[in-house]
Amino acid sequence: MCGIIGLHLKNPDLQPRLGELLTQMLEAMTTRGPDSAGIAVYSDPVYSDPVYSDPASAGVMRYSLRAGEPSDWELLGQRLAADTGAEVRVRQLGPDVAVLSSAADEALLLGAVRRAAPQVAVAGWGRSMVLVKDVGAPADICNRYGIPGWAGYQGAGHTRMATESAVTTAHSHPFAPAADLALVHNGSFSNYATIRGRLARAGVSCDTDNDSEVAARLIASRMAAGDGLEDAMKTVLKEMDGFFTLLVTTRTQFAVVRDSFACKPAVIAETSDYVAMASEYHALAGLPGITGAEVFEPMPEEIHLWGR
């Protein structure tokens, strides 16, 4: 049992409150997942403070990094800048967590991180997305990284109760296998080992033994092959067996799907200001204007997708 939440803002006036709203939603899911939690936040450059507030940053990629122990992030930034030939700006979120911003080629920068600091994990990256995840209570994690003060236009979060793999930060959600792509999952897949093996033969490797990561990698591989997000999610419905609710976000999209039996709970609320979803309604109850929202449960295998 896990809890998932997401918020896609239509009204720009709410963007300064995104982190605050996501935090209260994530805290409401604590009973569904006390082991660990994570959140992916999407922001335009002008709304990226405290991570990177320079409006001229529209062309850069942001890399959410975690070392697992206190690290000299400024030194790493200098080494990456020397390796890639591009400026690297550093925003430290904690002793072992930082966001690096650079206009360097994406593959070049990721390769430079692996060479300079193989112990550092890239939790996620993208032009708009910043991602943090950790072991512990959702409220503690949000406070640790100052999430209530973050602004943006979209976010997805997860509280985990481990059933298929270890309780570690690496096994926590969201999984972000491609730029600006994040997936959170409630449920379990029964044939994920088979799909993981097929992906591996195609050159797509997983970092963990978590079943949810396999779904994220499958979606990323289909999108890399030219599929849109909706078609990629249809591939999950077709090829992966199990009980699941998925929320998948990209830089411009917010999508929800449940399996053919719709065993795992999900509720969606939509107003003229936002689209919100959660595993349980009480996570939505504190949102502004919720009493006037259209509230519904997505039907089995019904993909709901909103674009920016």
End-to-end CA distance of the chain: 30
Alpha helix segments (H runs only) across 96-148? 106-116, 138-144
Alpha-carbon distance of 282 to 11, in angstroms, equals: 22
What integer pLDDT is reported at residue 57 of this predicted model? 54
pLDDT of residue 47: 42
Residue 189 burial class via C-beta count within 10 angstroms: exposed 0-12, middle 13-18, buried 19 and up: buried
Predicted structure pTM score: 0.94
Catalytic site residue from 2, 142, 206, 263: 2
pLDDT tens per residue, range 104-121: 999 999 999 999 999 999
2 is known as an active-site residue: yes
Q: Distance (Å, rounded) from C-alpha 29 to C-alpha 5?
A: 8
- So what's the pLDDT on residue 48? 45
Residue 215 DSSP SS3: helix
pLDDT at 124: 97
Give the chain's residues under pLDDT 50.
47-53, 55-56
